Chains A and B, each alone.
Chain A
Amino acid sequence: MKILKILGLLALMVSLGAFSGKFTSGEDGYSIGDIATDFSLKNVDGSMVSLSDYGEAKGFLVIFTCNTCPYSVAYEDRINALDAKYKSKGVPVIAINPNNPAKKPGDSFAKMKIRAANKDFTFPYVLDEGQKIYPQYGATRTPHVFLLESTSQGNVVKYIGAIDDNSHNASNVDEKYVENAVDAMLAGKEIKVTNTRAIGCSIKA
């Protein structure tokens, strides 16, 4: 009986611990299950890009990234690979540069065009002009991924965090957080890991 009580207490502690450890992305940013805002931002090809342009999409990988952050640079090829894998499955990548070019000249629109061309980005790379979109999402660093699922209610946030568990070295990755999340979403299954963290460059507004 005593053992049962102790076990119960332990279970309670664990569940409480799980709650207190609940991660929210930034103070005002989205949590899992929130409806993400649409936007109309200028792409490196000069066109304006909105989520509503994609009538057929099952979801989106909205990735806040930039030209200058070494962690963003380290993930460029992997972001291209995500787009290659999931665009055809209805979940395209949309990359947003949240940095203010006035504070970070290396992240100017002109430099974004060069970066996108040099790295053959297969996805839109748009500038968050006026830095209005990233605070609504609650992006705090680059790269920072938000997986959205298109539903009749809007674009629901399904995953927030890192692309995978090894920024230094793509060949040493154990867990592909984003791929696991998109695969689960497309299969209609529960996403096991919905929030992850990673070292990144703080966004300069």
Chain B
Amino acid sequence: MKHLLFALVFIVLLISGCNQKPKEKDKEAASEQVFAKFEKEADDQVKFPVYDYEGLEPLLYKDDGKTYIINFWATWCKPCIEELPYFEKVNAEQKDNNVEVVLVSLDMPSMWKSRLEPFVAKKDIKSKVVILDDPKQNDWIPKIDKDWGGGIPATLIYNKDKRGFYERGFTYEELNEELVKYIN
């Protein structure tokens, strides 16, 4: 991404350099500022994909033979943090069983850099982490499950044959107990 930006800046500079006219100097300065801003934003960009519900939806309906465990969590949610190690463990143990865990963070934008990134790094989380940033919660919560009130932790388990939603926390044993219903 960074390389691409540098290349863009270079090309723009090259073009503007060729057509340099005194009166365009101001314009050039302005465009450099814009690029400087772009670069800063690229540096600040959070490491995980950020989706609205529409962007997330394809991850909730994959039809590739795998069983997906989609866990909705946030760094501020204590019971979510408590159960995360179980999801990590299952993700590692069941990989060969065609099971994949996706951790959907509901952290607020102000927490992405300050809390979410450091947390994922510190805990060395191996499961895929994505961010769901869609404030219109009353619209998308019932699309994920018609009975979900919006409390977290909450987990969706699905494959092409079966789908289940759990507005609750899991222990390692409970998660495995539930999972076997999908993979056998």
Contact = CB atoms under 8 A, between A and B. Distances in A.
Interface of A: 20-21, 23, 25-26, 69-70, 74, 104, 140-141, 161-162, 165-169, 172, 177, 196-204
Contacts of B153: 202
A70 B79 contact: no
Given A70-B108, A104-B78, A197 B135 contact: no
A21 B139 CA distance: 13
7 contacts: A162-B138, A197-B138, A198-B141, A199-B137, A200-B151, A200-B152, A202-B151
Contacts of A20: 146
Contact of A140 (B74, B108, B136, B151): B151
A185 B109 CA distance: 35
A69 B150 contact: no
Nearest to A166: B135
Nearest to B115: A70
Given A20-B146, A70-B108, A202-B79, A165 B151 contact: no
Interface in B123-143: 135-138, 141-142
Interface of B: 74, 76-79, 106, 108-109, 111, 135-138, 141-142, 146-153, 167, 169
Given A21-B146, A162-B150, 14 more contacts: A21-B142, A23-B149, A25-B149, A26-B149, A69-B76, A141-B149, A141-B150, A141-B151, A198-B141, A199-B151, A200-B151, A202-B153, A202-B169, A204-B78
A198 B148 CA distance: 9
Nearest to B79: A202
B132 to A, nearest CB: 9
A169 B136 CA distance: 11
A166 B142 CA distance: 16
Given A165-B137, A196-B138, A201 B77 contact: yes
